[in-house]
Amino acid sequence: MSFFSIFLALVIEQVRPLSGQHFLHQSLRQWASWVARHVDAGQKQQSWLAWSIAVGAPALLALAVHWLLALTLGWVFAVAWNVALLYATLGFRQFSHHFTDIRDALEDGNESLARELLAKWQQVDASALPRSEIVRHVIEHSVIDAHRHVFGVFFWYAVLSVVGLGPVGAVVYRVAEFTSRFWAGSRAARADSPLFSDSLAHAATTAWQWADWLPARATALGFAIMGSFEDAMDGWRHHAQKFPNDNDGVILAATAGAIHIQLGGAALKRAAFADTELDSTDADAHTGSGSTPGRVPEIGHFAQVVGLVWRTVIMWLVLVALLTLANVLG
């Protein structure tokens, strides 16, 4: 069931991707705002209660519908429900158009347009970035988005569906990722949203780090297997600390080793701390220093990244297919 659900959801998403303004995304924003407004009081206990309600209620609803359909109408309808939820929670097309547009601009020699597109995508100042740094940023953000929109959802959906929890894993992972962005975000974003307390932002960020810990390492391992394994593992062990986020650092360090490319460095630090009051010395202290070993990023590396991601997708699909077969036979 898991394999067919994931495969069908990916196919449908390639044909008709959800936009950022889709009613499901708008509904999730309204739900998160409602929970924060009615439950969060700025204290630790209330913040964790708000997070539990925001994430737990959709997950329980998804599980209840899954079991109801499976018990009353049969597994075909349960699969259809899983496909619908996976369609809403994963997909390349939710971010890949940014990658494609910037790549096309660089291939046409229009670096100004590429900087504008990157700035609009990540809400950072890219006006002074040289060509290699544009490529570096695009690769870094695209790899992380591929993990969060595809591989992370793969992981928790496959793991929990094997033990009979249906689509719960996919829903929990996606809502946890969303609440981290929506409730935490930058200082400027939270200044415009006084309903979201610092305590709530901390709870959402901490919960997201926990939820993403295992999937991030599974993604890094997949990249290592599908790329240069020894170099990817070496990057994982020795260079993950050069990135501001532990889970993202593992993925990016493994990616850098898998395709022998430099990632990280000063440009990433400036973007990561653009909305804070830290100076460059403080940023170094928080993110480590320097970039990973490898070649300077070039346009040709885009194709290598795309190939690495798709090979890893196929690997995980095969693994999920084997898990599904074992579950059926068992």
Please give the average per-residue pLDDT across 133-137, as a whole number.
91
Distance (Å, rounded) from C-alpha 124 to C-alpha 4?
39
The token pair that represents 27 in the structure block: 């509904």
Q: Which residues pair with 261 in a beta bridge?
A: 295
Distance (Å, rounded) from C-alpha 157 to C-alpha 3?
10
Question: How confident is the model at residue 90, as a pLDDT?
Answer: 85
| Other CB atoms within 10 A of residue 255 CB | 31
Question: How confident is the model at residue 81, as a pLDDT?
Answer: 93
Q: Which residues pair with 264 in a beta bridge?
A: 291
Q: Which residues pair with 295 in a beta bridge?
A: 261
| Other CB atoms within 10 A of residue 279 CB | 9
280 pLDDT more than 90? no
Find where tokens 């990157």 sit: 118
| Mean pLDDT of the residues in the chain | 84
Distance (Å, rounded) from C-alpha 19 to C-alpha 8?
19
Question: In the structure, what pLDDT confidence band is assigned to residue 309 with cuts at 50, 70 and 90?
Answer: very high
Q: Which helix (H) or strand (E) holds 275?
A: none
Nearest 10 degrees: Cα torsion 298, 304, 305, 306: 120
Question: How confident is the model at residue 20, as a pLDDT?
Answer: 63
At residue 321, the 3 state secondary structure works out as: helix
At residue 269, the 3 state secondary structure works out as: helix
How wide is the angle at C-alpha 229 spanned by C-alphas 225 and 231, nearest 5°?
Answer: 150
Distance (Å, rounded) from C-alpha 115 to C-alpha 131?
9
CA 224 to chain centre: 18
Question: How confident is the model at residue 244, as a pLDDT?
Answer: 84
Helix axes 44-72, 23-39, angle to 10 degrees: 140
* Dihedral sign, Cα of residue 170, residue 246, residue 143, residue 310: negative
Question: In the structure, what pLDDT confidence band is assigned to residue 151 with cuts at 50, 70 and 90?
Answer: very high
The token pair that represents 327 in the structure block: 């579950």
Which range (174-183, 211-220, 257-266, 287-296) has the least confidence?
287-296
93 pLDDT more than 60? yes
Please give the average per-residue pLDDT across 177-197, as a whole number.
70
Please give the average per-residue pLDDT across 185-199, as a whole number.
61
Which range (95-104, 151-160, 184-193) has the least confidence?
184-193
Question: How confident is the model at residue 16, as a pLDDT?
Answer: 82
The token pair that represents 264 in the structure block: 């990280």
The token pair that represents 319 in the structure block: 């693994």
281 pLDDT more than 50? no
78 Cβ contact list (under 8 Å, min separation 6): 1, 66, 67, 69, 70, 166
Question: How confident is the model at residue 269, as a pLDDT?
Answer: 46
Which range (177-181, 184-188, 247-251) has the least confidence?
184-188
Please give the average per-residue pLDDT across 89-98, as a whole number.
81
Please give the average per-residue pLDDT across 32-50, as a whole number.
91
